[in-house]
Structure 1
Amino acid sequence: MEAEILSIGTELLLGEIPDTNAQYISSRLRDVGVNVYRRITVGDNPNRLTMAFEESIQRADIVMSTGGLGPTEDDVTAQCLAAALKRELVFSQDAWESIVRSLKARGRTPSQLDKKQAYIVNGGFFIPNSIGTAPGQGIVVDDKLIIILPGPPHEMQPMFENQVLPLIKERYPNLVPIKYVDLKVVGLPEAKVAEAISDLLKSQNPTVATYTGLGEVRVRIAATGQNQDESRSLIDQMEKEIRRRLKTHVYGRGDETLEEVVGRILTKRGLTLAVAESVTGGLICHRITEVPGSSRYFKMGMVAYHPDVKASNLGIPMESIQKDQAVNEETAKDMAQSIRLLAGADLGLSTTGFAGPEGGTENAPVGTVYIGLSSKQEELVEKILYPSSRSRVKAYAAQQGLYVLYKFLTQR
């Protein structure tokens, strides 16, 4: 079963608003076993929109659009669908009564302009909008299902869930949902991950694909079986093989975050943590404390940004601070040790670096970050170089800081 999604609105083409509707519909159609093959963005141009409808209807089994159902002149979706199907728009009393109720509930008097929204394609049906004033509509032509919905996501989503999705399931009862799982991989670039599972990436069912992120890689496994149990079995076998190859670089699955996994390990082992941040400006502490129950293992955080604070609050020697403006191995090591001792924690984690765009030295250019880790038994420092925008350097350094902690916990 193939579907195409048309996102309608010149504001989308101009980049004024993000197209969250297409993303939402794609994910929900995937969940019920409908493959979305194309997503098309079209402005409020009647000729181009009519042509887009004609082409999508010719190719796909299900065509869905969002946007362009309001009462103004540039809301032309219904007219263009009618033109593409070579049909008339006809007045729907049911749609009009629904619009009137919506308007009166908002203390508004219906106008002739509002009546435009009550016209539907001849042979079609209207889809009530319980939140807004613009109803959607649908029509079946040559066994193809065509649905048009309003653009505001808070209106479109309930209409899709409560009316469109049940209609799709009823009309196509033999759909097999596509099951998938995302494995979270850290400490390896996408190229290395792809190299390690290169033969698996050629698999047809389940399929395997990699997606790069900031400091981590997603490996998606998707399967279609005769039933959910078969799909789950196909995924489980593939996941087991990928984990065997990538080992502890696979830190989680689904929506799991690195800070959640680190927190579970700390809790299980009865360890506590303190963090001293400079370049990351509190991002590591923020991520750690976003996890419910983090007070069980997180004792203290400090943003020691200014050199004087590094010296006075953490006792970092001035000779270390003066070397490359405190961006060096010694400072990172001493920060991690000092925060551990100050908090009375089992582990101390630290970051120091240059986020840019200004600053940096010959030995430590912008994007240089040192990450320190201190325990009662040992101390270590890792250096990373990630020249990018200031915000991305900080975010990447925070991710790598958590990875250094994760690696320490899983390898000892």
Structure 2
Amino acid sequence: MHALAALALAAVTVLHPAPDLGRQVLAPDDGWAAAEGGTTGGSAARHAVTVRTRDELAAAVAGDQPKIVYVEGALDAGSRTCADYAVPEYDLSKYLEAFDPARWTGPAAGPLEEARRASAANQRRDVLIGIGSNTTLVGRRGASLTGLGLVIDDADNVIVRNLAVHDAYDCFPVWSGGDWKTDYDNLMISGSTHVWVDHVTLTDGDRPDQAEPRYFGKRFLHHDGLLDIVRGSDLVTVSWSVFSGHDKSLLWGNTDAPDLDAGKLRVTLHHNELAGLNQRGPRVRHGQVHVYNNSYVIPAGTDYQYSWGVGVNSAIYAQHNTFRGAVTPDRIVYGWGGTAIHEEGTLVNGRQVDVRAAYNAVKDPDLGGDVGWTPSLHGRVDPARAVPALVRAHAGAGRLG
């Protein structure tokens, strides 16, 4: 019987082989990236390539020709340390002494800031990986990038799936505007259209900002965003992914000015886990953003501030999301100059709550509930109570193929 069963299983495998993730395209109703022609990535490429080093990856994803790129194994930026990137003139202790707000006002400037910039430029060449148009980038099981940041800049038709990206670490933060600013996102989408991000895991890795010291009363951040969507990007779907342990997490629209962003920044965020994020889950400017069926986890002892940032001209449409942990309903929304958010079916620690009303009860001015649009491109909207189990079982890198 065992032999017969094995033969039967082999026959099924031949008849129904595992799907080729590189050839898969976004479903025709799966969020904003399905609009206006859809998102097919590099599925039309004649051949696929597998990469195993940082330099192989950078070469494989460059250019605009159709391409399918598989990542195999754990890739990193190499063996260089922050000390290796630093120019001789850079010294953190001297930098802190020079720009202490007790004796310095305004942005950092002068020889020490120039040394910091030169050091940062040395690191930048190793960290950032630019992805061109018509690309499908897929991680094989267990694939990860550490100390690297993916950049989709002025591109169209890109798919990134099944890949873990950890610790896009900036060795040389700058003191500016009363806070520490950093330069690298795990994944940045800038000036790009038709992008599908699916089953990725984005974290700070083994160097969380939560563990960093405070200088001048502010956390000495070494990471920027987990997933930023900026500078007129449009038609993006982010699905079945995990965003974990980060401060300034998802920034969608990086300026109040409408020059590049008016009518753009249309993004769908669904069936993701957002765990231990202090803020920006997402913070939105300008865009029509559909946020549904996401699972938010707020551990005790973190610097949690808010999840949904209602920025200038934003139109967030939030449906059937869940929040668990050290959070109260009035803290989920924060007003950043926007005027409205549509929210329905939200569960907070197992209880359905009108979080917009909770915000309005403690903050002025009130936020309205009419955002001027209703999403039409989406799959099934699951009941909120089902979301944590669904997301826990299926979201994140390593769940495909």
- Which one has more relative contact order, counting CA pairs under 8 Å at least 6 apart? 2
More strand by share: 2
TM-score band by shorter chain is under 0.3
TM-score (norm 1): 0.21
TM-score (norm 2): 0.21
Structure whose alpha-carbon radius of gyration is higher: 1
